[in-house]
Structure 1
């Protein structure tokens, strides 16, 4: 018996990390192109999202509807640049990733602090990764 806390994360293999990075890129591309279908294509049916406005969205249908409304309305002229700042496996079919976000790539390249951070939880189902949880937090 030990009192040492266990390590709960391990490095993802290169293929899994690349897949997760592609998913986050699709989310960015969907946002920047105002394409709600691309923005939500990797969300699991039972996903839960805490958005930057503090609202909780439960289930793919609610998330898709919020994406459609937001991209047609108050987010229509907004852009974003995302960088995955870390990804790790919690279990063979569970992974997490942290994302930093800016309004533009230029802001990130200029070394400005991120405007938002996010935590994603992914589950591998049917041979591919799905977003099951995401929490966005605006940085003051």
Structure 2
């Protein structure tokens, strides 16, 4: 006999969705303006990030360094436009969000398929949300 799997996600309230969208907007703005500090401002100390280049980076200091190196190097002239396509709670004070990404807003508005997908895991501590995990996946 098999049991139906449980439904484990819950909708987030509008204020939380807005907060998560602002965080993703800060990541986009940091990327587009080559500001590594803004790119990392919402990263938790013990975060783990899967980069678009395929590397796992662990810990805030290493993530900060990877962001600085990327923005000074191969990502220096790159731009991006992000859209959060879903955000739900998976536990009290834990949320996940999906992000679709394009090189430009114009590409997104033209209906082109996303060039990258990402999954963010957020944890709320002391009244604010932190990124604790992020996985970027380039779309071939």
TM-score interval w.r.t. the shorter chain? Answer: over 0.9
How far apart, CA to CA, are the structure 2 residues paired with 1:43 and 1:107? 28
Long gaps (5+) in structure 2:
none
Give the alignment of 1:1-80 within 5 angstroms. 3-80=3-80
Q: Give the CA deviation at 1:21.
A: 0.3
Cα deviation code 1:11-35 (max 9, x no counterpart): 0000001000000000000000000
Q: Give the CA deviation at 1:52.
A: 1.1
Instruction: State the 4+ residue runs in structure 1 displaced beyond 6 angstroms.
Output: none
The TM-score, its normalising length taken from structure 1, stands at: 0.98
How far apart, CA to CA, are the structure 1 residues paired with 2:92 and 2:24? 20
RMSD of equivalent CA atoms:
0.8
How far apart, CA to CA, are the structure 1 residues paired with 2:70 and 2:56? 14
Q: Give the CA deviation at 1:4.
A: 2.0
How far apart, CA to CA, are the structure 2 residues paired with 1:64 and 1:137? 20
Give the alignment of 1:99-138 within 5 angstroms. 99-138=99-138
The TM-score, its normalising length taken from structure 2, stands at: 0.98
Q: How many residues align?
A: 139
